[in-house]
Amino acid sequence: MNFASWIAAVLLYVNFALALPVGKRFYQATSPVFSLIAHHQGKEFQYNLVKFNGEDLELGVDEPAFFGRIRANQGYVLNIPFGNSSNGTFSQSQNSSNTTYPLNTNVYVDKAGKLTTTANNTSSRGFGISGSLLTYQNSTKFLACPVIAAGRANRTLRTNTTRLNDTLGYDIYFKGNSSAACPYNLTGYDISLLVQVSATVNYSPETNTNNFKKRESKRFWFF
């Protein structure tokens, strides 16, 4: 081996060694904070901002915009870091009992598939971002279901029609690959949730890794 080849081999080894720990820099404990836009291929939900009323993720309501992040260090939960209202808590009175939701809360997908929160901060794992779309359990399919005023629920159930002044907005449900339907068999709308953040378009267990083999190492070469 001549001297030039020996130098090249040493430089190659040094670059390879330097690349080993660098992959850790790509791991993020949490994603950047983002908002969500619900998109429906129809007139109802063409780019409708997702709101958060302190308990549920909703559409078409006069509530603050939803801002969240995905926390890998907690199992890829969808976290709401800014609390549920301007003072950081949300209280709900029902039958003389008050429920106060926590300041830093996680989204819970209940048995019906509804994206909601709980007073004891129950969370659902498996959220992610893929191609700038929010995912849950590796699916981008969600469902917008009308929220009906209690006094009009019976009429709506009989006719299976929803008038604009009958609704109190739309709750968001996870649909996935199942045949999920809205409560009372009301007409729902298939939606995808666009993640509005400039820094990250992919954030999931498959892409958030410290394995240097999954990253290109060309940037470390200097000869």
Over residues 127-144, the pLDDT tens digits come to 999 999 999 999 999 999
Length of the chain measured in residues: 223
The larger pLDDT score, comparing residue 88 to residue 201, is at: 201
Portion of the chain with pLDDT greater than 90, in percent: 44
Amino acid letter, 41: Q
Q: Is the pLDDT of residue 89 over 50?
A: no
144-154 mean pLDDT: 69
Lowest model confidence (mean pLDDT) among 1-5, 62-66, 149-153, 219-223? 219-223
Tokens for 129?
Answer: 């971002």
Q: Parallel, antiparallel, or unpaired: how do β-strands 57-59 and 69-71 relate?
A: unpaired
Q: Is the pLDDT of residue 221 over 80?
A: no
Cβ–Cβ under 8 Å, residues 156 and 50 = no
Lowest model confidence (mean pLDDT) among 123-127, 157-161, 191-195? 157-161
**Confidence at residue 94, expressed as pLDDT on a 0 to 100 scale:** 37
**Confidence at residue 45, expressed as pLDDT on a 0 to 100 scale:** 64
Q: How much is the mean pLDDT over the chain?
A: 76
Q: Is the pLDDT of residue 202 over 50?
A: yes
Place of tokens 């009958």: 166
DSSP code at position 212: G
**Confidence at residue 82, expressed as pLDDT on a 0 to 100 scale:** 73
34-44 mean pLDDT: 86
Q: Each residue of 9-24: b (16+ CB within 10 Å) or e?
A: eeeeeeeeeebeeebe
